[in-house]
Structure 1
């Protein structure tokens, strides 16, 4: 087992487990990325996935926001992409500037799935070892400042990209598969679940101190379809990851916090109440009190400022951040279990200074609320 520097700030890990914290910990999705000038400087000379596949570059990009926002972030998240799993299964994925992810040969009919169902598990070390190396390197580079997060895409979200061939406004191709070829979909979802489980276990063993499952396309499914094609696979990932770690030579790693982000699927929240996830991330359309009522008091909530708020004047950012924190403070909590975040990731045209205002406001206001509640 690698020996890492002692952790100096464990607030996000305490909050994830429902333990008291001095203030609300905060990080943001896509905090290492395109909105930062220092990222764009690195990006000029490198293809997106080549940056992901080069541990030294992935490490550098991961720590960039920690340097810029010194003392304001309570976690780092490894620079990578959810679509490395389709790549590990044998699909080609490109990141096209101005367009986003592109699959030159998406899945068109069920026979296309057969080439992805090779016997035996995906060799995570061989296919995705570069991510694991980046995680271990970054843990050392962070020097214990804050915890390091890892992640995967949820099986349904990955399947949708693999069929659509990229982003989509309707997901009509992927959703039509659910109705026309449900058997093939379940086969592929199982394969993806196996890969997600193995990849998360490997990330945690490599040094990730908390992990998140991003179900970015969850809200594109109605309740019945989500219950069949997404929820059971997400539930299985957390259960199987923790079981695998308990059976490993490092059983203590089974306590690593796990988060799930079912974006847009407000109706699915009650189903996560008894899951093995410690944290449920909320998008900006979800009311914290409603979410707390749906989940009960044994899950930490994470979120959920509308990312577009960062385009507002700084005073408005402060006001809306205060309102968000007050809402979460008004939801009955177990311990003090809120992790502040955006309701989705940073946008490429966000101002870095707008994010600074958000982070500073979380520090100030959450400290005030803690002190008020303690009186």
Structure 2
């Protein structure tokens, strides 16, 4: 059968609204934390058996309609030759960030297949192990979000170094974006080839830009990224992009929105030719169940039962989220929409 999540991504009617959650295989799970005590984060991302085990953890606890393959979007930077580390505190870091055209020209795809091998094998195994009604979701980092890490070396408030380079060293920026687009496309295509039903493109940091910069400097690369990928739906997720949703919606079959906009109004602006995903504030899952129910009903009322809605959060699950509340959320969405 075609998973309900895939049907919704194609704007087909489904018996209930399908649900999956960003970072559903993460630190809020006791079993994940136990694995993290024994392995580094990169070990978890590069071991086929561990990728499979972690990806399946949430499905063993909750009746989710999709599982996302456990990995990290920054692995594509490592595949290009950037040195990536994950300290216990403070987030990932690139030890040799991009500062010049010479730095960009040193980047090469030589490690892509080595980096992809355990991920591809894990996807093939997962495809055999999960029920046919559950969608298998792959993901890649969008070129601009990868570019931010490659230039800044870490997460940053405002990504001013990246924006300055974009405007003052156009050749460096454009060559870097070209290489990042090609490596992300390789990651995307390999995950589809290995068996993913859907792929999500994460553009976490693109909201630091305005519409003019996005349209001129980013959108052409996003179109190249998904060009020719027609056999599986593409979810295009970004944050803080309410100011240029119409431009965001030019790429992808499903547009993932955060909680900063009412989802029904977002869909009106995007247009009903696209499916939509979202958009519960992750912090709501820290609240009492009656608050969760109120917020979920508000989202479902906003989309008015229209075919093409995939329920998700507006960002990843917070590490201190009670597992009980995640189960409550999934059951609630299913029950309120006919499941």
Tell me, what secondary structure is at the counterpart of 1:82?
Answer: coil
Tell me, what secondary structure is at the counterpart of 1:356?
Answer: helix
Question: Match of 1:327?
Answer: 302
Q: 1:173 aligns with which of 138, 145, 161?
A: 161
Question: Match of 1:49?
Answer: 42
Which stretch of the first structure deviates more once superposed, 57-66 or 351-360? 351-360
Tell me, what secondary structure is at the counterpart of 1:161?
Answer: helix
Q: 1:88 aligns with which of 66, 79, 94?
A: 79
Question: Match of 1:204?
Answer: 192
Alpha-carbon distance between aligned partners in 2 of 1:232 and 1:351, rounded to the nearest angstrom: 41
RMSD, matched Cα: 1.7
Is residue 99 of structure 1 aligned with residue 90 of structure 2? Answer: yes
Tell me, what secondary structure is at the counterpart of 2:293?
Answer: helix
Q: 2:272 aligns with which of 297, 300, 303?
A: 297
Q: How many equivalent residue pairs?
A: 339
Alpha-carbon distance between aligned partners in 1 of 2:302 and 2:221, rounded to the nearest angstrom: 31
Q: 2:321 aligns with which of 347, 350, 354?
A: 350
CA contact (8 A) 1:273 1:298 kept: no
Which stretch of the first structure deviates more once superposed, 208-217 or 167-176? 167-176
CA contact (8 A) 2:144 2:206 kept: yes
Q: 1:62 aligns with which of 50, 55, 58?
A: 55
Is residue 364 of structure 1 aligned with residue 335 of structure 2? Answer: yes
How big is the shift at 1:123?
5.9
Q: Deviations over 1:129-187 (max 9, x none)?
A: 11111111111222435111000010000000111111112212222211221211111
Structure 1 residues not aligned, in runs of 5+: 1-6, 243-253, 369-375
Question: Match of 2:116?
Answer: 128
Q: 1:39 aligns with which of 32, 47, 66?
A: 32
Tell me, what secondary structure is at the counterpart of 1:303?
Answer: strand
Tell me, what secondary structure is at the counterpart of 1:170?
Answer: coil
Spell out the pairing of 1:196-345 with structure 2 (5 A cutoff).
196-240=184-228, 242=229, 254-275=230-251, 277-329=252-304, 333=306, 336-345=307-316
Alpha-carbon distance between aligned partners in 2 of 1:328 and 1:95, rounded to the nearest angstrom: 39
CA contact (8 A) 1:55 1:133 kept: yes
CA contact (8 A) 2:282 2:318 kept: yes
Cα distance change of structure 1 residues 261 and 122 upon mapping to structure 2, 3 Å threshold:
farther
Spell out the pairing of 1:179-194 with structure 2 (5 A cutoff).
179-194=167-182
Q: Deviations over 1:314-343 (max 9, x none)?
A: 11011111111111127xx4xx11000000
CA contact (8 A) 2:200 2:236 kept: yes
How big is the shift at 1:296?
1.5
Alpha-carbon distance between aligned partners in 2 of 1:176 and 1:347, rounded to the nearest angstrom: 32
Tell me, what secondary structure is at the counterpart of 2:98?
Answer: coil
Cα distance change of structure 1 residues 43 and 123 upon mapping to structure 2, 3 Å threshold:
closer
Question: Match of 1:250?
Answer: none
Alpha-carbon distance between aligned partners in 2 of 1:227 and 1:88, rounded to the nearest angstrom: 28
How big is the shift at 1:273?
4.4
Tell me, what secondary structure is at the counterpart of 1:44?
Answer: helix
Alpha-carbon distance between aligned partners in 1 of 2:176 and 2:148, rounded to the nearest angstrom: 11
CA contact (8 A) 1:12 1:75 kept: yes
Which stretch of the first structure deviates more once superposed, 229-238 or 34-43? 229-238
CA contact (8 A) 1:58 1:80 kept: yes
CA contact (8 A) 1:32 1:39 kept: yes
CA contact (8 A) 1:155 1:234 kept: yes
